[in-house]
Amino acid sequence: MSMKDRTPSPSASRIPDDQDPQLIPTLHSVDVSPFLDLMLGIARERTIEGILRVTKRTYRGRHVIFGGLWIVASLRITGTSDYSAPGADRKLRLMAFSGAGKPRPAIWRHKEGTYDLVPFSDPLLGPCTKGEPSYAASGDQWDRPDWAVEYGYHAYSAFPIMHKDELLGVMAVFYDRPMVDELADMLLMHRKMHKIYADSLAAAVANAAAFDEIQTLRRELELENEHLRRAVRTAHADDHIVGNAPALHKVMEQIEVVAPTDATVLILGESGTGKELLAEAIHKRSHRRMGPLVRVNCSAVPHELFESEFFGHIKGSFTGAVRDRTGRFLMADGGTLFLDEVGEIPLELQGKLLRVLQEGTFEPIGDDRPRKVDVRIVAATNRDLAADVEAGLFRQDLYFRLSVFPLHNPPLRERLEDIPVLAHHFVSNAARRLGVTEPKLHYRHIQQLQAYDWPGNVRELQNEIERAVIMSHNGGLEFNRLGAHRIGTPPSGTPHLSGTPHLHAATPAYTPDGPLYTEMQMEELHRENTVRALEACGWRVQGEGGAAELLGIKPTTLQSRIKKYGLKKPAA
C-alpha cells in the first residue's frame, strides 16, 4: 500500500482485530493521503484494464515484499474458462502484482501448478473463496510452502473480493519479516486498510464489468442502427438492390455507364446472386425504360419449344399450334429482352438468335414474312461460356455478340459487409409477408451469417432467413443449421448427385476374387463417376481444375461422354 508508515514504539502491544477504536491512533501515526488518492483512483476507473493498472502500484507498505490480485477465472473478465469440466475445481487467475524485486508467482508451486492459476482448494488462498479473510503474522502461524521459505515470506494477509455475496477474487500481501511484537500494530493497520481497499476493489471490478457489458450492448445497438441506416440509405428502391459493398458498388457504376447505351450486356455470376435484378436496373436506367422488359428463363424452356418461345408461331404451323403465338422478341419490341441462363439455348437455335441480334429480323414458325424488331438484349449465365465455346457447346460468334459488355455480379462471399443490410431487409419483408411479428436480429446472428460461405448466394440467404422467421414462433431467430436444407448437402455424409436423382450405386455380384459388374452396371458407374467429376468443379469441362483434368482425359472425350449420357447441369 502506498503510504508512509511509522514504526510503532517497542512498548506498543498487539491490538486485537476486533478493537476498531484502536485504529484511530494508528492512522494518526501515518500519512494516509496516498491511500485516499489510491481509493479515488480506483473509483474513477471504468475498465478492468484500468483497475489492474492502478492495482499494480498498490502493494508498497513498509515490509510488504509482495502483493497480488487473483480474479475468479471467467471469460468475461480474465478471458479464461472458470473450470474445464462439470465438477472441476474452479480457478483464480493472477491479474496484477507488484513487489520488492522478488520472483513473481510464475515460479511458485502448488500441487497442481504455479500460482498464476490457483484452484479454490489451495490451502493458502482457498479459505478466502468462502468469503472470510485469512492471516498469519509469522512463519509459525501458517504452513509455509517451500517458495515462501526460500524467498523469505514470513507473514501474509489475504482478503476476499466480494460484491453482493458474489466472489470476484482474492487479494493477498506478503511480508519480509514476522509482523509481531512492535510490528503488530502496523499489521493491524494494514489489515484494516487492505480490507477497505478490497471492498472498494470489489465494487470497482463489478462496476467495470457492468460498464463493459453496457458498452458492448451499446456498440451492438449502434451497429444495428447503422445497419438499418445503411439499409435505408443504400437500398435501391427502384431496383430492389440492397447493399453498398465495394464489389457491388463497382457493378452499379458499370451499370450507370452501359445502361444509357444499346450495347448488349452479358451478366456473369453464380446462381442466386441476383442477376435478374441487375437486368432490371439496366432497363430502368436506359432510354427504353418506358418500353417492356421481357424475361425468358432459357433453362426452363423445353428444347423443342425454344423457337416458338422466341419467335412465335402461327396457327396450324405444327401439331398442337391451335392458335397464333407472339414470341418474346416481338413482345419486347421497343424494350429489353432478358435472356436468363442463355447458355442453355440449344446449339441448333443459336444461329437464328444470332441473326436477330445482327439484323433485327426474324420469321415466326409457319410464316415466311419477316418481322423487324427493335430489342436490346441483356443476357445472363452462371456457366463458363468461353469454355463452352471451346468445347463446341456454344457458338463463338454468338458468344462475341452477347459479350459486348460483360458484367460480373459478385457472389455473396465477396460482399460479406452487405449481409447485415440484406438480413434486416429479408427479415422485415418475410415478417410482413407472413403476417408475423418481426423478430429481432442480433449482432450474434450477423456474425453467424457472415461466418457461412453462402454457396447459394443471396437467394440462399433469403431462404434461410425466411425459414428462420417462420420458425421464430418463440420470438427468437436461430441460424444454427445453415446450409442443412441445401440441395446437394448429403445427409450423414452420404454423397448426393445433384440433378441426377435417378442414379443409384451399382450393386455387384461377388466372386472369390472380388466384385463382378455387368456391362450395364459398369456403364452406370462410368456415368456416375463423370457426373461426380463435373459437380466437383462446378460443371467446368476443361482448363486447370476442370472435370477433364480430374478424370485424366481430353476435354473432347469428356464432351463425347456428356453427350452420350445426356448429362445436363442442374437448373439453378
- What CATH number is attached to the domain comprising 162? 3.30.450.40
- Give the pLDDT of residue 23: 43
pLDDT in tens, 376-426: 999 999 988 888 898 888 999 999 999 999 999 999 998 888 888 898 888
> With a threshold of 0.85, does the pTM exceed it?
no
Do 326 and 180 lie in one domain? The reply is no
Which residue is listed with cell 443459336?
350
Q: Do 450 and 502 belong together in one domain? A: no
Q: Which domain covers residue 456, as residue numbers?
A: 413-470
pLDDT value of residue 440: 85
Tell me, yes or no, whether 68 and 207 share the same domain. Answer: yes
551 contacts 533 by C-beta, under 8 angstroms: yes
Q: Is 309 found in the same domain as 189?
A: no
Please compute the mean of the pLDDT values over residues 220-226 and round it to a whole number.
68
Final residue in a domain of this structure, among 164, 194, 212: 212
Does 572 fall in a domain? no
| E strand spans, 332-445 | 336-340, 361-362, 371-372, 376-381, 405-408
Residue 73 maps to a domain = yes
- The CATH code of the domain that includes 424 is 1.10.8.60
- Whether residues 56 and 127 share a domain: the answer is yes
Handedness of CA 517, 520, 523, 524 (dihedral sign): negative
Are 445 and 344 part of one and the same domain?
no
Model confidence at 430: pLDDT above 60:
yes
Q: What angle do CA 334, 340, 346 make, to 5 degrees?
A: 100
Q: What is the mean pLDDT of residues 7-24?
A: 41
Domain boundary among 366, 386, 410: 410
> Residues 229-282: pLDDT tens digits?
555 444 444 557 888 888 888 998 899 999 999 999 999 988 888 899 999 999
Give the residue, 488 or 47, on which the prediction is more confident.
47
Distance in angstroms between the alpha carbons of the first and the last residue of the chain: 72
540 within some domain:
yes
Q: How far apart (Å, rounded) are the C-alpha atoms in residues 47 and 564?
A: 71
The C-alpha angle 67, 71, 74, rounded to 5 degrees, equals: 160
Task: Tell me, yes or no, whether 170 and 296 share the same domain.
Answer: no
Residue bearing cell 439496366? 282
Q: Are residues 88 and 163 in the same domain?
A: yes
| Domain contains 217 | no
Residue 258: name the closest of 237, 288, 238, 233 by CA: 288
406 with 420, same domain?
no
Return the HEC string of 37-62.
Answer: HHHHHHHHCCCHHHHHHHHCCCCCCC
324 with 399, same domain: the answer is yes
In a domain, 479, yes or no: no
> Residue 250 is part of a domain; what is its CATH number?
3.40.50.300
Whether residue 447 sits in one domain with residue 374 = no
Give pLDDT, residue 5: 43
Most confident of 50-54, 129-133, 496-500: 129-133
Read off the pLDDT of residues 275-305 as tens digits, 9 standing for 90 and up.
Answer: 999 999 999 999 998 999 999 998 888 877 8
Q: Could you tell me where the DSSP H helices lie in 84-183? A: 146-150
Domain count, the chain: 4
Q: Is residue 223 part of a domain?
A: no
In a domain, 205, yes or no: yes
Domain boundary among 410, 426, 448: 410
- Report yes or no on 319 lying in a domain: yes
Q: What is the DSSP letter of 412?
A: G
Q: Are 355 and 314 in contact (CB under 8 A)?
A: no
The percentage of the chain sitting over the pLDDT mark of 70, rounded to a whole number, equals 76
Helix (H) or strand (E) holding 374: none
Do 459 and 526 share a domain, yes or no? Answer: no
